[in-house]
Structures are given as C-alpha cells and as structure tokens.
Amino acid sequence: MNQAISVSSRGSTRATFIAAYSAVTLAQITNALPGALNGTFAVEFQTSGAGLTWIAGMFMMGIVVFELSWGLLGDLFGRKKLLYAGAVISVAGSVLAALATTTELMIAAQAVGGIGAGILFPISLSMIAAITPDHRARAKVIATWAGFLSLGAVISPMLAGLTSQAFTVAGPAGAANAFSGWRVAYYIAAVIAVVVLIVALKAKDSAAAEGRKLDLPGQFTLAFGLIAVLFATVTAVDAGFSSAEVIASYVAGGLLLVAFVVIETRTRQPLIHLSLFKNSAYSITGVVAVTGMFAFLAVCYSTSVAVGGLALAEAWKVGVLFVFIQGPAFAFIPVVGWLIHHVAPRWVLTAGFAFMAVSAYWLSTFSLGTPEAFGGTAWTAFIGPLLLLGIGFALTVGSITAVAINTVPPQHIGMASATTNLLRDLGFALGPVIGSAIAFGVGASVFAAPLAGILAGTGLPADAVAGLSNVPPLGYLSGWDGVIAQFSGQAAAGGAPAQAVDGLVKALASAQPQIQGVAGTSLGQGFQAVYLAAGIAATLSAILTLFISTRSSAPAPEVNAETTEANAEAAVWDWRLRPLQPSRRTP
C-alpha cells in the first residue's frame, strides 16, 4: 500500500538539512565517546567488571530496544517533534555524563543518551528523505547524511583525547584528578545538542501517518526481552552464570522473546516480518550481522580497556587508536559505494570479515595488562591491526544491508533493511557485554592460583586469605583502597584489636605491587581471549557469507532506483534507523 508523506509548507529546507546533518553527527559523537574512554572510566570510577560493561553497553541498549519504533512514531506524530525530543534528551544525557561521579550515575547517563541518539538517528534521515522525493537525489542526500555520521565517529575519539589532555587538572600526588578533562567532551556534546534544537525550530516538519500503527505488544516484549537477556549477561560478569539472579533473568528474557515471536506472527502490522527468515540466504545475512558486529565491538571494547585501563595509556593515545578504527569508514564511503554497485556485495562482505579476523588474531598475540613504562606492549603497536579492523569494518557495515536487500523480493526491501539494522545493532550491543563476560571470567580464573600463593606468603590468617581470594582482579587494580577498607572493617568487626588490624593491613599493603602486577597480567590474558573469540566470530562470519545466494532475476527499472537508494543507505559507518519503506511516495 502506498503511503503519502505530508511535508509542511512552513519552515526552511536549508534548516532541515542543517538540523538533520548536525543531529546525526551529534548522535554518533555521543555514541562513540565511551569507546575511547572505557579505560579512563575504569580508573576514574574504580568500577567493577559489571559496572564497566554497563557503561559500555547501556548506550547501545538504549538504541536497540526501541529502534524499530522511533521512525514509526515520527511518521505518526511528526518527525520534527521527535527531533526536538531527541535533542533535549541528548542534552540531558550529555550533561549527566559530564557531572557523573560514580559508576551508577554514568550508567544512567548512558541510558538517557542512548535513547536520545536512538531517536536522532532515524528521524534525522527521515526528515531529509521526506523533502527529497527524487530517488537519485535522495541517494545523494543519504550519502551526505552518511558522511556526517562517519564524521561524528572520527570526531568523537579525537574529542575525548584532546579534552582529556587539555583540560585535566591533576590532584595532589596519589589523589584523584581535581577535574577530569574528558567531562568537557560531554559538555561540548550538550552544546551541539542545543544548537540542533535551535536550528530545528526553523526546519520543515513531515509525517506519514496513513495506514501506520504502533505494535505496542511487540515493542514491549522485544524491549524487555532484550533488556532481561543483556542484564543477565552483564550481571554474570561479577556474579557468575550459576547465579540465581542470572538464571532467572535469562528465563524471563527467553519467555518474553518467545512471546514476541508469537505476537509478531499474529499481528497485521508487525515490527518484524518473521517470514523473512524463511529465506535461508537472508537468515545467514542476519546471523553474520550479529556475529560480525559482535566481533568488531568486542575488539574495540577490549582495546579501550586494555590500553587505557590496564596499560594506563593517556586518553589521547586511545583516541588516536580509535581514529584508525573509525577513519577508514569515513574515508572509504565512496569506495564502498562503488564496490557495492560494481562487485557482488557478498564478496565485499567476505573480504571485510576476513580483514577483521586477521586484526583480531593479530591482537590476540599481544602481551596485555602491563603498562608500557614497565615493559608492556607499546600503544603504537596497536595501530597496524586496528587499521585492518577499520578497513574490514568499512567494507562490512554497509555491504550487510546491500546483501540483505539482494536476498529478498523487491517488495520486502524496506523491512529486510530495517530488520538487518536491528540485528547489526544487537551485535554491537553484545560486543562489550559478552566480551566482558569472557575477559573477566578468564581473568578471574587465571588470577586465583597466583593470588592464593601471594596471600599465603603474607602471613595473613586463613579466613582473611579466603575472603580476599574472592576479590576479582579488577577490584585490586581500580579499587585497592576499597579492598583495604572492607578488609580492615571486617577484621575489626570480628573483634580483632586495632593494633592487629593495622598489622594485617601493612602485611597486605606490602604485597600490593605483586598482587596488582598479577591482576593486570591475568586480565590481560582475559582480553587476549576476547580478541581470539572475536577472530573466531569474524572467521565464521566470513565463511557463512560464502553460502549466501543473491537474486538472479533483474528487478524492474523502478526497483533498480529504489535499490540504489537502499544501497546508498547501506554504505554508511553504522545504521541505527528504520529505513524508508520503498512503497512510500511523495504526493
């Protein structure tokens, strides 16, 4: 059914383009900031493994769980209103992040920021597409939009590094910073969001409410099902997979996702047409969208923590490394677009995953967990493999959608593209979540034996050794003072005299360098395991793409035009949107 897009005669076309391009740049800046700052956050907030995972994954969770509804809400109630909402929420999220003093506050800030960005990604694209009815002109507009999105991905790590370097005010020796410069990056993001809001006041509004209906049961079961599963996986980082809370969350999430499938098979206007997955080629594409993007984000997350958190490299160095990751996607936009149109997208996808696999395997050979000043791997050694990762990502992230739309009939292009975007973003969300579970799980296992030996040599009582053996390696690295305080408090509460408690604390403090050294190398082995897992995931993704068959029949000229538009949408750094349905027309 054709759907008429109504575009308001009021407002400026130029302001609409400026607002949309600024909005998508802002959304990508805020999305990419934690990637360059995870290591800094680990030190700044003295966070646990689960806390660090929540900071890394919460932003993407805010995007993924409502991804398929924001575009529809814009169609129903007007895209301009949604852009206002996204900008205001982004201001709130950025300011909260800038002011955060604890892990919990930063997690909340990331959740708010993720919702804001989740609105801005699809709405900014819908607004400019609505005022560009011609397919060829629209493809160029989408490519420009993609360029600004990629620009945000390049700006973000540079902004994180430069503000950390320029605005940090060190505290007294051994104390926390008087002011952490990375906070300025979030204040700058808040200012950009205010500018977007002001410019949007003069933009044109548009909507396409005819025949649209929000699938609330499907949205809620999908959202809460994904949240429950991700919550269980993150909680398992510290509590373990045998925890009753973790098991209950997995069960609840599984039941909700089963309910989602049942609902989607019975509703007339589903969020996702599950019939798409009867097509084996499309199903394979959906699988590699998850596994391939998991591999990419797992490598990014591991690099941020290993270099910034364990090796204690300055934030600007981590920022430079992330430019090598994000830069190729920006620089290669015209190259990827040409390859998608002149080479079978499947082969572009295979090559991209192969590059990512080589990068991850290469990184898994690095010695991690020791600062460079003490003989650890130099931060510059990461440039080569991360550049390969960036090239692989540039080749894969756009071609996934191109392959997906080539495996389904023309009338299903829009839904196939939207569903692929959701699966890709799910892979992004799983990267830090599963990566943390692997890294901190392996790290704790490796750490247990040497820690027991070190503690036994301090002369501490057996019950004290048993209690301290339960502290994870990240606790000793980023929360040493907290460990000492808890240890001494428990000893005093157990009736130990003050003099005896002081002696126990001194005995433990004497072993601090040895314990922290082993903790760092143990976690380093954990992140080596993450790199290896990412390499395996990328390899499997590359192999699976070889089994994808594309449509052999040539589409009609009109479908060719729409496919060109969809391919233009595909050739971007990252998609977090519900693409335009091909059946829509401007009156």
Out of 435-439, 469-473, 489-493, the most confident range is 435-439
Mean pLDDT across 558-570: 44
Contact 357, 294 (CB under 8 A): no
**Token pair listed for 435:** 């990566």
**Token pair listed for 488:** 């001494």
Query: Do 474 and 567 sit in the same domain of this protein?
Result: no
Contact 390, 327 (CB under 8 A): yes
Mean pLDDT across 367-381: 92
pLDDT at 566 over 60: no
Is residue 584 situated within a structural domain?
no
Contact 424, 404 (CB under 8 A): no
Farthest CA pair distance, the chain: 87
Q: For residue 329, what pLDDT band results from cuts at 50, 70 and 90? A: confident
Task: Determine the structural domain holding residue 223 and report its residue range.
Answer: 216-268
Domain holding 172: CATH number?
1.20.1250.20
Give the pLDDT of residue 582: 33
Can you tell me the distance from the alpha carbon of 565 to that of 580, in angstroms, rounded to the nearest whole number? 10
Q: Are strands 6-7 and 206-207 parallel, antiparallel or unpaired?
A: antiparallel
Query: Do 333 and 241 sit in the same domain of this protein?
Result: no
Strands (E), 120-199: none
Model pLDDT for residues 35-61, shown as the tens digit of each residue: 888 878 887 888 878 888 888 888 988
CA angle 126, 128, 129 (to 5 degrees): 60
Q: For residue 3, what pLDDT band results from cuts at 50, 70 and 90? A: low
pLDDT at 88 over 60: yes
Lowest-confidence region among 221-225, 407-411, 435-439: 407-411
Mean pLDDT across 133-157: 80
Is residue 6 situated within a structural domain?
no
Share of the chain above pLDDT 90, in %: 38
Contact 115, 14 (CB under 8 A): no
Lowest-confidence region among 36-50, 255-269, 449-463: 36-50
**Token pair listed for 200:** 């949007």
Contact 537, 530 (CB under 8 A): no
Give the pLDDT of residue 583: 33
pLDDT at 480 over 90: no
* CA-based nearest residue to 389, from 415, 354, 365, 364: 354
The sign one gets for the Cα dihedral 448, 234, 57, 540 is positive
Query: Do 167 and 263 sit in the same domain of this protein?
Result: no
Give the pLDDT of residue 332: 82
Out of 174-183, 256-265, 481-490, the most confident range is 256-265
pLDDT at 556 over 60: no
Is residue 398 situated within a structural domain?
yes
Can you tell me the distance from the alpha carbon of 269 to that of 203, in angstroms, rounded to the nearest whole number? 30
More confident residue, 50 or 31: 31
Q: Provide the whole-model pTM.
A: 0.83
Contact 113, 94 (CB under 8 A): yes
Contact 431, 297 (CB under 8 A): yes
Contact 292, 396 (CB under 8 A): yes
Helix 103-130 with 13-44: angle, nearest 10 deg: 160
Of 202, 229, 247, the residue at which a domain comes to its end is: 202
Can you tell me the distance from the alpha carbon of 38 to that of 306, in angstroms, rounded to the nearest whole number? 9
pLDDT at 174 over 70: no
pLDDT at 580 over 70: no
Mean pLDDT across 85-93: 96
Query: Do 282 and 430 sit in the same domain of this protein?
Result: yes
Q: Which of the 8 DSSP states describes residue 6?
A: E
Residues with Cβ within 8 Å of 238's Cβ and at least 6 positions away in sequence, in order, are: 48, 49, 50, 440, 472
Query: Do 323 and 472 sit in the same domain of this protein?
Result: no
Is residue 585 situated within a structural domain?
no
Is residue 285 situated within a structural domain?
yes
Query: Do 244 and 353 sit in the same domain of this protein?
Result: no
Please, which residues bridge with residue 169 across strands? 179
Q: For residue 414, what pLDDT band results from cuts at 50, 70 and 90? A: low
CB count in 10 Å sphere of residue 271: 26
More confident residue, 319 or 99: 99
**Chain-centroid distance, C-alpha 105:** 18
Can you tell me the distance from the alpha carbon of 413 to that of 72, in angstroms, rounded to the nearest whole number? 17
Burial pattern 143-168, b for ≥16 Cβ within 10 A else e, equals bbbbbbbbbbbbbbbbbbbbbbeeeb
**Chain-centroid distance, C-alpha 462:** 43
Q: For residue 586, what pLDDT band results from cuts at 50, 70 and 90? A: very low
**Token pair listed for 411:** 């009338």
Give the up-direction half-sphere exposure of residue 444: CA atoms within 13 A in the CB hemisphere: 19
Query: Do 386 and 237 sit in the same domain of this protein?
Result: no
Query: Do 245 and 322 sit in the same domain of this protein?
Result: no
Sequential DSSP letters for 178-241: SB-THHHHHHHHHHHHHHHHHHHTTBPPEE--TT----HHHHHHHHHHHHHHHHHHHHHHHH-T
DSSP-derived 3-state class of residue 263: helix
Give the pLDDT of residue 16: 93
Lowest-confidence region among 57-71, 78-92, 106-120: 57-71
Of 470, 495, 510, the residue at which a domain comes to its end is: 510
Mean pLDDT across 149-177: 84
Of 248, 268, 288, the residue at which a domain comes to its end is: 268
Helix 13-44 with 135-167: angle, nearest 10 deg: 40
Number of domains present in the structure of the chain:
4
- Residue with token string 């708010």: 112
Is residue 582 situated within a structural domain?
no
pLDDT at 89 over 80: yes
pLDDT at 581 over 50: no
Sequential DSSP letters for 503-564: HHHHHHHHTHHHHHHHHHHHHHHHHHHHHHHHHHHHHHHHHHHTT-----SPPPHHHHHHHH
Query: Do 410 and 558 sit in the same domain of this protein?
Result: yes
Mean pLDDT across 169-187: 85
Contact 326, 299 (CB under 8 A): no
pLDDT at 5 over 70: no
- Residue with token string 């609409």: 16
Residue 263: φ, ψ to 5°:
-60, -45
**Helix (H) / strand (E) containing 7:** strand 6-7
Query: Do 259 and 290 sit in the same domain of this protein?
Result: no
Can you tell me the distance from the alpha carbon of 167 to that of 174, in angstroms, rounded to the nearest whole number? 19
Give the pLDDT of residue 538: 97
Is residue 277 situated within a structural domain?
yes
pLDDT at 519 over 80: yes
Q: Which of the 8 DSSP states describes residue 9?
A: S
Give the pLDDT of residue 562: 44
Query: Do 111 and 156 sit in the same domain of this protein?
Result: yes
CB count in 10 Å sphere of residue 448: 15
Is residue 4 situated within a structural domain?
no
Can you tell me the distance from the alpha carbon of 528 to that of 512, in angstroms, rounded to the nearest whole number? 24
Can you tell me the distance from the alpha carbon of 59 to that of 105, in angstroms, rounded to the nearest whole number? 13
Can you tell me the distance from the alpha carbon of 75 to that of 578, in angstroms, rounded to the nearest whole number? 11
CA distances from 441 to 48, 450, 528 (A): 13, 16, 12
Query: Do 223 and 281 sit in the same domain of this protein?
Result: no
Lowest-confidence region among 110-124, 494-508, 546-560: 546-560
pLDDT at 433 over 70: yes
Lowest-confidence region among 264-268, 366-370, 583-587: 583-587
Mean residue pLDDT across the chain: 84
Give the pLDDT of residue 253: 95
Mean pLDDT across 93-113: 95
Q: For residue 552, what pLDDT band results from cuts at 50, 70 and 90? A: very low
Give the pLDDT of residue 514: 93
Contact 295, 363 (CB under 8 A): no
